[in-house]
Amino acid sequence: MNLSLLKRGTRAIVEAVESIHATDAIAQRLRELGFVRGEPVSVVAFGPLGADTIAVQVGFTRFALRRSEAARVRVSLQGV
């Protein structure tokens, strides 16, 4: 399952950030921001109707991501 599919308030664990191609700068940046295997993550809020943004919390930090960016983060509901 990927992060963009989680419902608001759902907690999960990051499994991996999937790169679309070998030099995927967005995937690399997500890893640098803390989206690494084993980190707890949750969806905090969604943008207004029709908006493309998702507010997520990874560890103790909150980020606003586009759905396409959140789709790169593979998560698991096991071990939460």
Query: How far is Cα 22 from Cα 41, in angstroms, rounded to an integer?
Result: 25
Q: How far apart are CA 2 and CA 72, in angstroms?
A: 7
Q: Domains in the chain, please, with CATH?
A: 3-76 (2.30.30.90)
> What confidence score (pLDDT) does residue 59 get?
85
The reported pLDDT for the residue numbered 4 is 92
Whether the predicted pLDDT of 7 surpasses 70: yes
Q: How far apart are CA 15 and CA 25, in angstroms?
A: 19
| Banded pLDDT at 79 (limits 50, 70, 90) | low
Q: pLDDT per residue over 13-63, tens digit each?
A: 999 999 998 899 999 999 999 999 999 999 999 988 778 899 999 988 999
What is the spatial distance between Cα 26 and Cα 23, in angstroms, rounded to a whole number? 9
The CA-based diameter of the chain, rounded to the nearest angstrom, is: 34
